Amino acid sequence: MRTASVVWAGMVLCSGCVLASLAASESRRAGHSNVGTSVSQLENGYQDRWWKDAVVYQVYPRSFKDSNGDGIGDLKGITSELDYIQKLGVSVVWLSPHYDSPNADNGYDIRDYRKVMAEFGSMDDFDALLKGIKQRHMRLILDLVVNHTSDENYWFVESRKSKDNPYRNYYIWRAGQDGGPPNNWTSFFSGSAWKFDPATNEYYLHYFADKQPDLNWDNPKVRQEVYGIMKFWLDKGVDGFRMDVIPFVSKVPGLPNYPSSYEGRVQYFYTTGPHLHEYLQEMNKEVLAKYDVMTVGEAFGVTLEQTPMFVDERRHELNMIFNFDAVRLDQDNGRWLGWKLPDLKAIYARQDRELDKHSWNTIFLSNHDNPRLVSAFGDDSATNRVASAKLLATMILSLKGTAFIYQGDELGMTNYPFRDINEFDDIQAKNGWTADVLTGKYTAGQYLANLRKTSRDNARTPMQWDDTASAGFTSAPKAWLAVNPNFPAINAKQEMNDPASVYNYYRQMIELRKKTPALVYGDYQDLDPANANIFAYTRSISKTAYLVVLNFSGQAATYVLPSSLKAGKLELGNLGLAEEETDRLHLKPWEARVYQVAHQPSGASRY
């Protein structure tokens, strides 16, 4: 029998089985607080927590659903589609920023942290959304954007007024050097990270747009403001936060020039501030520890080796972080390179090695900052789009870590066929045009070809709900960003009615993950790391083992399993029924299968 210890306030009290632990998760899903309640320990040492077996669905509100016909998605629109989200089977919704913002960076520039963006609705609309999510036994996490604010935030409006303003020290102000900015730091949105402000003849720091001044976390008042904001939303009942570029909050003392070795990769420099972990522990103590919440840090610039510093549960900082190794495998500093399967496998193998049972991982290959999943990691051609989108779902939902799905990927939505810089909304794309094309560094053709592969706007085109005008996203004559012209074929209405759709496959795969602890917590073994086309691995816990076989190619392939292993019952396949009880698999292009392992050598712990 599978055993699991139940830990209560740090003490082992009794043992149970995996099912007991699932029952505990279920009761927590039903809305019971986890503070001071039981946490089960699985046989392989992992603690079972609701945020570990969660499947998270990211909503980018601007592009999800417009309820009032202004061409912009809004909170009422999201509430109207909660049944759609719930039917997928996901347990957590992550809402990209919904706060009052002038939208220099689509809400990642916050003017008022306690107010809802007018275009998205009102606080009543937010409360109704939260209620609707809870009624459906799901949870809501918010985007916490506190490395920087908008320059229209009251604190900054005050801060820039004079050198002795009480808010001056909320931001990072410095005198220029030799007629230029204080140092060589660069912005992720092109150019210097410093902007001169004539009112006080000093520069302020902005790692992103000049309308996104960085907060000074070394000022304890700033940290208390942040904790107040967090409590405001947690007290409303939200279930945690995705924390925007959180490892950047502690700045390198003295603000020295970064060494030339960081050229083009400044994120690795910006994460080296000495007080980062002290601040995260303080935040945990003052806020997070008091609630049953989930936290995930966006950790651009954090290496895998540094990851346990953030997520090892004994350190009391964050639950998990987004590591960028996989999602950016196909890019180098914004230039698209392409990618190879063994390199992706090597990343997952390394993650599995480096993160022990105390450190939890995230699995994601798309979000609002990256191109569409099927276009980047699958094959979005008419022939292979559906199968490859399902294959990617199989992988994301069968690897170890909390799984994140970005809106529209469950439909197999694709990159947009951009032709002209004027079709883009993203500040990063536009600033890059000025910096890279108008200076002659790249031709317009080169720049646009790269953006077609890498642009964030690929993921931000409106959700495709049906085949009516604007894909049913809005009743306005024009949506804020163009709808992908493939909406008559790729849309939610059609897919919900088609049992063989990408959407319905996601449902099945999420369902399988939910009832299969091995797919969440199980030990991972890559069976064939060097294979250029086939990704085959096992997930096992106690004596239950599952085999996942993915053909990442447009060619049929025969895959022979290692001698000790046999595929047993097929749990799910993206191309329908498939052979069982065999060690020789005949895979079609982009075929994905999840099997129970039929048998294993006695005493073997490999699987």
Active site amino acids: 244, 298
When the beta carbons of 110 and 397 are compared against ligand NOJ, the nearer one is 110
Task: Answer yes or no: are the C-beta atoms of 69 and 104 closer than 8 Å.
Answer: no
Contact 512, 519 (CB under 8 A): yes
Q: CB of 368: closest distance to ligand NOJ in angstroms?
A: 6
Nearer CB in complex with ligand NOJ: 216/504? 216
CA dist., res. 120 & res. 61, Å (int): 8
Q: How far apart are CA 386 and CA 298, in angstroms?
A: 29
Nearer to ligand NOJ, 140 or 215 (CB): 215
If the CB atoms of residues 369 and 457 are measured against ligand NOJ, the closer one turns out to be: 369
Beta carbon of residue 220, minimum distance to ligand NOJ (angstroms, whole number): 23
**Which residues in this chain contact ligand NOJ in the complex, by CB under 6 A?**
105, 108, 145, 208, 244-245, 298, 368-369
Q: How many CB atoms lie within 10 A of CB 95?
A: 25
- Lookup: tokens for 541: 């816990």
Residue nearer to ligand NOJ on the CB measure, 431 or 533: 431
CB of 415 to ligand NOJ, least distance (A): 17
Reading the block at residue 216, the tokens are 């000074």
Least distance (Å) from ligand NOJ to the CB of residue 427?
A: 8
Sign of the CA dihedral running 452, 453, 456, 460: positive
The Cα 571–Cα 602 span in angstroms is 23
* Residue corresponding to tokens 């220099």: 104
Of residues 208 and 262, the one with the C-beta less far from ligand NOJ: 208
| Least CB distance to ligand NOJ at residue 63 (A) | 13
Q: Distances in Å between the alpha carbon of 523 and those of 42, 103, 364, 467, 572?
A: 11, 43, 19, 43, 20
Residue 571 beta carbon to ligand NOJ: minimum distance, rounded to whole angstroms: 34
Identify whether the C-beta of residue 466 lies closer than 8 Å to the C-beta of residue 494. Answer: yes
DSSP symbols for 91-141: SEEEEPP-EE---TTTTSS-SEEEEE-GGG--HHHHHHHHHHHHHTT-EEE
**Which residue has 């709808």 as its token pair?**
483
CB of 99 to ligand NOJ, least distance (A): 12
Residues facing 567 on adjacent strands: 582, 597
Instruction: Dig out the tokens for 240 from the structure.
Output: 């945690």
**Position 23: which residue type?**
A
Contacts of residue 518, defined as CB under 8 A and 6 or more positions apart, other chains included, come to: 539, 540, 541, 544, 545, 546
Smallest separation, CB 353 to ligand NOJ (Å): 27
Structure tokens at 79: 């509430």
Spatial separation of the C-alpha atoms in residues 492 and 508, rounded to whole Å: 16
Minimum CB separation of residue 145 from ligand NOJ in Å reads: 6
84: left (phi over 0), alpha (psi -120 to 50) or beta: alpha
In the complex with ligand NOJ, the residue whose CB is nearer, 369 or 436, is 369
Residue 34 or 454: which CB sits closer to ligand NOJ? 454
Give whichever of 100 and 495 is closer to ligand NOJ, judged by the CB atom.
100
CB burial class (10 A; 0-12, 13-18, 19+) of residue 198?
A: exposed
Count Cβ atoms within 10 A of the Cβ of residue 80 and give its class: 0-12 exposed, 13-18 middle, 19 or more buried.
middle
Residue number closest to ligand NOJ, CB atom: 108
Which residue shows structure tokens 């907060």?
215
